[in-house]
Amino acid sequence: MNIIMIGTGYVGLVTGTCFAEFGHHITCVDELTDKIDQLNAGRIPIYEPGLDTLVAKNREEGRLQFTTDIAGAVAGADAVFLAVGTPTSRRGDGYADLTYIYEASKELALHLQGYTVIVDKSTVPVGTARQVARRIKEVNPEADFDVASNPEFLREGAAISDFMRPDRVVIGVESERAEQVLRDIYKPLYLQETPLSVPR
């Protein structure tokens, strides 16, 4: 499958690399040119045991690329994962600041082509998927998409093994079509009998 990660931080880079290792074609997008230049030069901006080897292997095998060009990446994607930061709000009320999520949603909206599943991978409060869908529709009323949720529980320092051998994978979907896309993405884990939890 053709998958885009928007946000190439800890979660985006580990998830994108592990999806490439599953056999998918991954484009990791970030707005930080320095970070993308580093990755394209073969340097890994975070320390995570084993990640450098997996990135190099999947780049060599043509399944993993890094870019700042969101437009070129999103067109033709089966799924676009939002893995941008959700820092605690500066208001001091304990809520997450969803500015990056909403900005990325609006940026990607214009470039959607064909049916695409937008997946919240970032840690976000209940109701965010609806807000993401609203923003995409505002920018591109013709877009054919679903928004799904797939929270990440990896721990820094053990991120690759946490991702490759999770207790379970949790997905939240409102359509069977979106569920099927996520099932196809996670099929390699399913084949090793990882439960896929789809709360209704």
Ligand X SMILES: NC(=O)c1ccc[n+]([C@@H]2O[C@H](COP(=O)([O-])OP(=O)(O)OC[C@H]3O[C@@H](n4cnc5c(N)ncnc54)[C@H](O)[C@@H]3O)[C@@H](O)[C@H]2O)c1
Contacts to ligand X by CB under 6 A: 6-12, 29-32, 35, 83-86, 100, 103-104, 107, 122-123, 152, 154, 156
Q: How far is the CB of 13 from ligand X (least distance, A)?
A: 7
Q: How far is the CB of 76 from ligand X (least distance, A)?
A: 18
Is 84 or 185 the residue whose CB approaches ligand X more closely? 84
Largest CA distance in the chain: 46
Q: How far is the CB of 96 from ligand X (least distance, A)?
A: 7
Q: Of 140, 142, 67, nearest to 106 (Cα)?
A: 140
Q: How far is the CB of 177 from ligand X (least distance, A)?
A: 25
Q: How far is the CB of 113 from ligand X (least distance, A)?
A: 18
Residue with nearest beta carbon to ligand X: 9
Cα separations (Å) of 19 from 79, 97, 110, 175? 12, 27, 25, 22
Is 17 or 122 the residue whose CB approaches ligand X more closely? 122
DSSP 3-state of 17: helix
Is 7 or 172 the residue whose CB approaches ligand X more closely? 7
Q: Cα(8)–Cα(28) distance, rounded to whole angstroms?
A: 6
**Strand spans (E) along the chain:** 2-6, 25-29, 64-67, 79-82, 116-120, 145-149, 169-170, 196-197
Is 168 or 177 the residue whose CB approaches ligand X more closely? 168
Name the DSSP class of 2: E
Is 58 or 128 the residue whose CB approaches ligand X more closely? 128
